[in-house]
């Protein structure tokens, strides 16, 4: 006798804020977190069981097609985290669960079928046909293959009944790691940083010059096939570079995962300083109590925060527990990551974007099975399926990369706090420049504050000097001191020029920061003032000299650089707004003997190009490292004694409430790269607003002064952390519809969703970037004193409001990091 079917609620990864009821023949409800295959409309989808359902009053409940996991693929604790994520960020539980598990687990085509015993007599025709097809393939085949071969629609009902009979079983086949590929790679044999030499060398070979530039822009190595194919260089052009001894073509194993190949060097044992020891003691005693508060570790740059993380994790492992370390971006923090590998060796799984789907799934299983107990990775490592979690560390907790930019738009730092709380683990957020949210939490006592006030080993923080660009401009006319300027503005003031010269003479290293890539950020007609802007976005196009093209940094639209103004036909075009490409050219001209490396999004298109560039800096093969904010994160190079900020004002005047905070963090972080060794260090910041409080606080190394001033500045108008925000963005291809729907949505919220005075609607207004990817964008803010109430208002809005125009999209961004 077969037992009565039971009913389960299934979460599907669809933007529908509800679960669906299915029946399961056999009468046993699988644990929540178990994957099931279910029919949905005319398709089949993978979903997760999230609980029993009584199915009362439901007609036509459809049966689950297959139970895909023996035991739940999502541990209970992560199901709970997914619930929190979906509630708080107003997304469906299924979408939250999909964000948590490796992609492989959501891919039904990965399943295969194996014959395990002989069938009883009396199979139905369709079952018999399926079995025949399976046997014809040697008793094992992919479900998708079988389905295609049989061409009789869905075969899952037959799979289910054959499974129930014990005739077949099915398993998940993760994709095999791609086999090691041997490819022809062109690498730079000799970097030419003198412009004069470049021009002489390639005087009669412009294509070779272009190939050289391209190779340089790709960090000094590229696949031959790419240069020949996508970039259209002939083999003879590359051959020309080889003849000149500039480049070399070789066969190489493609570096898929440098962390797998690399041997970790033995750890250097360090004795914690007194401040470190105090912090470590507090953390370890929290580890041994039940429900610890989250910790904020504010330690100045070079104060040795990493050692505190390491000692905490050592204690975690000693207690038989597991740990997670979040870093902003693996590619940018190879030093930090390798220090964890050094200390914990094979206990560490490094989760990074270079892993193939299969490797990612392998790492996931190793963590789930307890084979490895420390997960190190970017934002999503937060979801490592570790049990018995002891601690979560969030390094550089202020970093913008912890916020996910697409649905579900979660803040990884906040989820780390939540996950730690759910499992009674210690949460440690570390930074030299904490986010104001975390700082406010430490002030109010919600977080416990730990402080490392000094650099280790008696090193002092570098002296920071400000150079007023307005003065530089004035003086330039009268002065005969050497500086380096360009059509886009001052690149190196005489002071910075001299400082770089001294470093080159002494054989020390310099870091130059300009947080804007490309050659010039806009092209303007001197006659009519017209600025070239993107067809699809309301932003100006950036000129990239290497490819002689104009690029939109938002939608990646590209067009050839103009030679005349499209509006008035004038050829008098000016290149305004300095970018890193231009700085590179100017610096190369100013210091022809210097070895220069540029690091920004354009030179790091290869997966591991960051590492290659940073490796060259580490080995002392680079004199000047120039780049965008990428070079400000966590680097520890003792021979860097000078940091120059070419223009601190980039980003300071953006219409966003975090513009000052970001500028302060960037300046403090990049300044922190100087003087980390015995040689000491100096920082020069060029700016037109030397009196701006963000600049002044960075110069004085005074985080607290900055935080005080900035928190006051967010009182009127109210901004986080003094209040909670949800940014609601309404977009449409039609300008009027976007405006109209934003207006009616905002009014709807006021009328139907808000119940008390603690939550208000601000706006609507056009978004600062009013047009993006061809869509017009309006936004309004939901601003509330209480997180829960604000969430309720938003939930009513999501459930109750339907826009009228077609192709109107509404995005809710809770705790936005930017309002652009
Ligand atoms: P932060 O992350 O706070 O900027 P790091 O953790 O990178 O600083 O440490 C800065 C440098 O100081 C590193 O080179 C590290 O090896 C060294 N260091 C840290 N703690 C100690 C210690 N107790 N004794 C000696 N060296 C230390
Ligand atoms: Zn013009
Ligand atoms: Zn665009």
Cα 569 to averaged position of ligand 2 atoms, centre (Å)? 6
Helix (H) or strand (E) holding 311: helix 305-318
At 709 the three-state DSSP class reads: helix
Task: Please answer whether residues 643 and 462 qualify as being in contact, where contact means their C-beta atoms are separated by less than 8 angstroms.
Answer: yes
CA-closest candidate to residue 250, choices 192, 191, 182: 182
The predicted structure's pLDDT at residue 721: 95
Per-residue confidence (pLDDT) for residue 747, from 0 to 100: 96
Considering every ligand atom shown, identify the ligand nearest to the alpha carbon of residue 525 and give its number. Answer: 2
Return the ligand number nearest the Cα of 395. 1
Ligand nearest to C-alpha 556? 3
Gap from CA of 267 to ligand 1 centroid (Å): 13
Give the length of the chain: 820
Distances (CA, A) of 470 to 202, 467, 548, 687, 722: 38, 9, 31, 8, 35
Mutate to test the pocket of ligand 1, among 273, 296, 307 (most ligand atoms within 8 A of CB): 307
- How many A from CA of 355 to the centre of ligand 1? 29
676 alpha carbon – ligand 1 mean position (Å): 9
For residue 302, the ligand closest to its alpha carbon is: 1
Distance in angstroms (rounded) separating the CA atoms of residues 375 and 364: 9
Q: Which parts of the chain have pLDDT scores under 70?
A: 1-3, 27, 174-182, 193-194, 217-219, 230, 252-264, 477-480, 488, 607
Q: Which of 217, 218, 215 lies closest to 248 in space, CA to CA?
A: 215
Per-residue confidence (pLDDT) for residue 166, from 0 to 100: 85
Which residue puts its alpha carbon closest to atom 12 of ligand 1?
Answer: 304
CA distance 738 to 730: 6
- pLDDT, residue 423, reads 93
Q: Which protein residues are within 6 Å of ligand 1, measured from CB?
A: 270-273, 276, 299, 301-307, 456-457, 636
* Burial label, 272 (beta-carbon count in 10 A; 0-12, 13-18, 19+): middle
CA distances from 808 to 293, 769, 778, 811 (A): 43, 17, 11, 10
Distance separating alpha carbons of residues 571 and 556, to the nearest angstrom: 25
Name the residue of 306, 343, 459, 638 whose CB sits within 8 Å of the most ligand 1 atoms, as the mutation to test its pocket: 306
Give the Cα-Cα-Cα angle 691, 693, 699 (nearest 5 degrees).
80
User: What spacing in Å lies between the alpha carbon of 688 and ligand 3's midpoint?
Assistant: 29
- The Cα–Cα gap between 514 and 644 comes to 9
Residues 6 or more apart from 705 whose CB is under 8 A from it? 693, 697
Evaluated on CA atoms 252, 255, 256, 261, the torsion sign reads positive
Q: Is 619 left (phi over 0), alpha (psi -120 to 50) or beta?
A: alpha
CA of 337 to the centre of ligand 1 (A): 14
């Amino acid at each position: 006798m077969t037992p009565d079917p039971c009913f389960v609620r299934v979460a599907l990864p669809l933007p529908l804020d509800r679960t669906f009821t299915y029946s399961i023949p056999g009468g046993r409800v699988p644990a929540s977190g178990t994957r099931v295959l279910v029919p949905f409309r005319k398709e089949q989808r993978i979903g997760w069981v999230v609980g029993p359902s009584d199915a009362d009053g439901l007609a036509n409940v459809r049966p689950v097609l297959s139970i895909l996991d023996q035991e739940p693929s999502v541990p209970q604790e992560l199901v709970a985290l997914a619930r929190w994520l979906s509630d708080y960020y107003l997304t469906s539980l299924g979408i939250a669960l999909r964000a948590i598990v490796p992609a492989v687990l959501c891919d039904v085509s990965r399943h295969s079928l194996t014959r395990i015993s002989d069938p009883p007599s009396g199979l139905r025709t369709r079952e018999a046909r399926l079995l025949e097809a399976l046997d014809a393939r040697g008793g094992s085949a992919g479900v998708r293959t079988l389905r295609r071969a049989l061409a009789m629609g869905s075969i899952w009902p037959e799979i289910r009944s054959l499974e129930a009979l014990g005739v077949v079983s099915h398993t998940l086949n993760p994709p095999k790691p791609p086999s090691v590929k041997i490819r022809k790679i062109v690498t730079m044999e000799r970097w030419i940083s003198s412009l004069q030499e470049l021009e002489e060398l390639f005087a009669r070979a412009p294509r070779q010059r272009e190939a050289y530039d391209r190779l340089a822009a790709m960090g000094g190595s590229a696949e031959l096939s790419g240069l020949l194919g996508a970039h259209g260089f002939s083999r003879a052009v590359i051959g020309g570079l080889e003849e000149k001894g500039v480049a070399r073509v070789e066969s190489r194993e493609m570096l898929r995962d440098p962390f797998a190949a690399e041997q970790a060097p033995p750890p250097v044992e360090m004795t914690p300083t007194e401040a470190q020891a105090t912090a470590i003691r507090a953390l370890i005693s929290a580890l041994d109590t039940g429900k610890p508060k989250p910790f904020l570790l504010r330690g100045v740059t070079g104060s040795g925060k990493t050692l505190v993380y390491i000692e905490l994790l050592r204690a975690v492992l000693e207690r038989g527990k597991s740990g997670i370390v979040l870093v902003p971006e693996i590619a940018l923090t190879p030093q930090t990551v390798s220090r964890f590998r050094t200390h914990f060796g094979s206990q560490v799984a490094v989760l990074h974007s270079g892993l193939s789907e299969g490797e990612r799934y392998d790492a996931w299983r190793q963590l789930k099975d307890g084979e490895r107990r420390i997960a190190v990775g970017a934002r999503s490592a937060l979801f490592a399926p570790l049990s018995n979690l002891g601690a979560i560390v969030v390094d550089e907790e202020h970093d913008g990369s912890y916020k996910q930019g697409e649905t579900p738009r979660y803040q990884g730092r906040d989820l780390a706090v939540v996950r730690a709380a759910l499992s009674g683990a210690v949460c440690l957020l570390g930074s030299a420049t904490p986010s104001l949210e975390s700082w406010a939490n430490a002030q109010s006592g919600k977080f416990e504050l730990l402080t490392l006030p000094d650099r280790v080993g008696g090193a002092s923080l570098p002296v920071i000097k400000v150079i007023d660009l307005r003065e530089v401009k004035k003086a330039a006319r009268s002065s005969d001191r050497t500086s380096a300027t360009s059509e886009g503005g001052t690149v190196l003031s005489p002071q910075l020029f001299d400082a770089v010269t001294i470093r080159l003479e002494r054989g020390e290293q310099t870091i130059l920061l300009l947080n804007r890539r490309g050659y010039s950020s806009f092209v303007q007609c001197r006659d009519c003032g017209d600025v070239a802007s993107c067809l699809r976005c309301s932003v100006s196009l950036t000129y990239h000299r290497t490819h002689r093209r104009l690029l939109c940094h938002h939608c990646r639209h590209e067009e050839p650089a103009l030679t005349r103004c499209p509006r008035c036909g004038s050829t008098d075009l000016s290149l305004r707004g300095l970018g890193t490409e231009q700085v590179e050219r100017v610096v190369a001209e100013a210091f022809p003997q210097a070895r220069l490396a540029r690091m920004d999004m354009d030179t790091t298109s290869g997966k591991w190009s960051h590492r290659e560039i940073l490796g060259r800096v580490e080995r002392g093969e680079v004199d000047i490292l120039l780049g965008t904010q990428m070079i400000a994160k966590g680097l520890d190079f003792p021979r860097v004694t000078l940091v120059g900020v070419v223009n601190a004002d980039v980003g300071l005047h953006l219409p966003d409430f975090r513009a000052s905070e970001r500028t302060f963090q960037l300046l403090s972080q990049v300044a922190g790269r100087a003087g980390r060794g015995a040689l000491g260090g100096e920082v020069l910041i060029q700016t037109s607003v030397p009196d701006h409080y963000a600049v002044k606080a960075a110069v004085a190394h005074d985080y607290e002064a900055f935080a005080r001033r900035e928190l006051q500045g967010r009182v009127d108008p109210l901004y986080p952390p003094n209040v909670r925000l949800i940014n609601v963005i309404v977009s449409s291809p039609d300008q009027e519809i976007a405006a109209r729907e934003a207006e009616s949505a905002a009014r709807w919220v006021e009328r139907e969703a808000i119940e008390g005075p603690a939550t208000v609607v601000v706006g609507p207004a056009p978004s600062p970037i009013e047009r993006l990817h061809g869509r017009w964008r309006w936004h309004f803010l939901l601003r509330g004193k209480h997180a829960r109430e604000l969430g309720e208002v938003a939930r009513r809005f999501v459930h109750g409001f339907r826009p009228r125009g077609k192709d109107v999209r509404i995005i809710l961004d809770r705790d936005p990091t930017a309002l652009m």
